[in-house]
Amino acid sequence: MGKKDIIKILRNYKKEFANQYNILTIGIFGSVARDEAGDESDVDIVVCISEPDFFILAGIKDDLEYRLNKSVDIVSYRDSMNPFLKRRIDSEAVYV
């Protein structure tokens, strides 16, 4: 599954679940966003939700792993996150 397929799935996911999970933005970063992912690569997802909640993030992660049939790492984008990771996301992220 390539970058375009993953973006399409994320776009549909956002349309379907934005209200339920309070998703403001969702996108990919990392090797998939850079077109460097291999068959065994995981998918790095960045999500901004209006009221961050661990259980909501876990639900999104599980849903996306099922839909993508790949391992997913999910990061909640927020002001108080690791500055290195925040810069990386800011420079690489592809939002839907």
Instruction: Indicate the pTM of the whole model.
Output: 0.92
Mean pLDDT value across residues 51-58: 90
Could you tell me the pLDDT band of residue 52, with boundaries at 50, 70 and 90?
A: confident
Is 35 within 8 Å of 55 (Cβ atoms)?
A: no
pLDDT at 4: 96
pLDDT band at residue 32 under the 50/70/90 scheme: very high
Instruction: State the pLDDT at residue 49.
Output: 94
Class for the domain spanning 3-95: alpha beta
Tokens of 8: 């399409």
Q: At what angle do helices 3-21 and 54-68 cross, to 10 degrees?
A: 140
Give the mean model confidence (pLDDT) for residues 2-11: 96
